[in-house]
Amino acid sequence: MYVQVKNLTKTFGKLYAVRNLSFHFDMGQIYGFVGPNGAGKTTTMRIMVTLDSPDKGDIKIGPYSAVYEPEEVRGLIGFMPDYYNTYPNMKVWEYLDFFCRMYGLRGKERKNRLNEIMDFTDLIKLKDKPVDGLSKGMKQRLCLGRALVNHPKVLVLDEPAAGLDPRARIELRELLKILREQGRAILVSSHILTELAEICDGVAIIEKGELVSSGKIEDIQNHLEDQERERLRTIEVHLLEKKEECIQFLLEQPEIAHVKDIGKHIAFSLRGEDEAQIDLLRKLIYQDFPILEFQKRTDSLENLFMKLTKGEIQ
């Protein structure tokens, strides 16, 4: 794995901001980083981008240690914090040009990189506009462009969609998909879990500085199901007709609970293993219900987050 967080611990006085935290993700992945306020997400990200040091543990970016080889790591990483770090009275192109110069780009190389970034973030038409006059969505694009100046292999984005309107969030999401297709490793923290679930290849969930769960969302869901004694699974059925009769039939089955009419579908909880699901489908077919769809519904990232965390604040 290209990015590895290993047994990371960070304290502030007697408070553990992060405690023995470990997770990993690879190139060509968007990895979600989820937790309540004060869970330790920003602290972990600051250590990852070499702005802070842990008490114990390490973060490896490729072959390099963020703790012991920070200079090498800084050449591989781009960081977009959860606040706007812009300068007043600068135009868009001047702001990006400043950071190109900070990274040592000169002459034609600097000009080409500046144009590449403005083209990718769709800021070309705004290049002469003062930074202070940009909308919040455009400022986020500008900050993302700044994080891309050094061609980073790893992007660390702290709440990039916070405060954006729906259109700006969708546009930002599409940019992240392109960056993933380019082979970058991307860590994204966010409170907008529904949108994060649409793009992330995996997720690390933390609470009170400790890892609660990590991996693919479906793997976390399966692990949760394995831990449940009674194994309630949510099933959705879509019928061509006879929906009311089907609801009544389901209510009469002892292995079924929480039957809900949700528009074109019926949703309900089923007790048992895969065999119970197969047996129920057989019963419905035998009763001549015209079934168009019959499927298990996977928990959303929001539901998993609520199940796994306790809402405790440090």
Which domains can be identified in the chain, with CATH numbers? 3-216 (3.40.50.300), 222-302 (3.30.70.980)
Between CA 3 and CA 269 the distance in angstroms is 39
pTM: 0.75
Is residue 203 within 8 Å of 32, Cβ to Cβ? Answer: yes
Angle CA 113–28–156, to nearest 5: 65
Pairing of strands 185-189, 29-34: parallel
User: Residue 262 corresponds to which amino acid?
Assistant: I
Per-residue pLDDT tens digits for 90-136: 999 999 999 999 999 999 999 999 999 999 999 999 999 999 999 98
User: Residue 213 corresponds to which amino acid?
Assistant: S
Per-residue pLDDT tens digits for 225-273: 554 444 567 788 989 889 999 999 999 998 887 788 888 889 888 887 7
Is residue 64 within 8 Å of 72, Cβ to Cβ? Answer: yes
| Per-residue pLDDT at 310 | 59
Per-residue pLDDT tens digits for 123-166: 999 999 999 999 989 999 999 999 999 999 999 999 998 888 88
